[in-house]
Structure 1
């Protein structure tokens, strides 16, 4: 399988994840904010986090859409997934209360399943960073300007 196809598949999976997660949090904003306010790690900044997380997810998804910003999108995906994975790990190991702060289908997962899911997507984001090949020729750059 060509490396570019693998990178495109990884990018597509991350886009789907971030758009779905971001929109589901925004569509159920009140519950998402409430659940965050019950988390011992973000209680005081729950309002800020409740907007920053879904906004970040959607921005990262947009970065992954365009070839010119895809590498930055992979780095941002890796960073976000590390943050989310670390948060889940901390909640599972150091929190007295584990709220449900995920939206949509992801809320059906246990926290342990969610941790494994996040680790898998963290690995995918890392592979995207490692495998991404920047565009080298002017002709390819010109073509990519119109590649959506």
Structure 2
């Protein structure tokens, strides 16, 4: 039991975090790709992203799918957690800028997430940021230490 607590507990939390990101990024990526025209238009309407809308409309879902794969393969999990933390930091920074600076509030996150509203969206992203940070900390803890 002591061994499970030391090894299994950390592994279980990491698995939960990775699966949560799997669902989040998988859903978001496929939603963007299946409604690509809507996503491109939304990206194009954002003043700061307009010049990059064409590139980002493909790059964001592809990066999300790559992160999903990385999080599911233990060998690449640490890099996937770093990537997830980075991408969520970018998304959260965008939300902060939208709420604080921009007049027009645009989101191409996916129907379910868009329905949260901006305040709850920020809370949602913050929870996922914390989860990625916890996952990184737990992933770095040696599993066979005494």
Q: 1:18 to 1:11 in 2, by over 3 A?
A: same
Distance 2:74 2:141 in 1: 8
Distance 1:16 1:66 in 2: 15
For 1:146, the equivalent position in structure 2 comes to: none
Query: What TM-score do the two structures reach when normalised by structure 1?
Result: 0.87
Distance 2:75 2:120 in 1: 34
Does residue 26 of the first structure (1) align with residue 33 of the second (2)? yes
Does residue 93 of the first structure (1) align with residue 79 of the second (2)? no
Query: What TM-score do the two structures reach when normalised by structure 2?
Result: 0.88
Distance 2:143 2:110 in 1: 40
Distance 1:65 1:58 in 2: 11
Post-superposition CA distance 1:36-83 (Å, at most 9, x none)? 111111011111111111111110010000000000000000000100
Q: Which runs of 5+ in 1 are unaligned?
A: 138-148
Provide the alpha-carbon RMSD of the alignment.
1.6
Distance 1:46 1:77 in 2: 21
Contact 1:11–1:64 under 8 Å retained in 2: yes
1:62 to 69, 91, 103: 69
Does residue 51 of the first structure (1) align with residue 58 of the second (2)? yes
SS at match of 2:46: coil
| 1:100 shift after superposition | 3.1
For 2:85, the equivalent position in structure 1 comes to: 78
Distance 1:127 1:73 in 2: 13
| 1:104 shift after superposition | 2.7
Runs of 4+ in 1 over 6 A off after TM superposition: 134-137
Q: 1:8 to 1:95 in 2, by over 3 A?
A: same
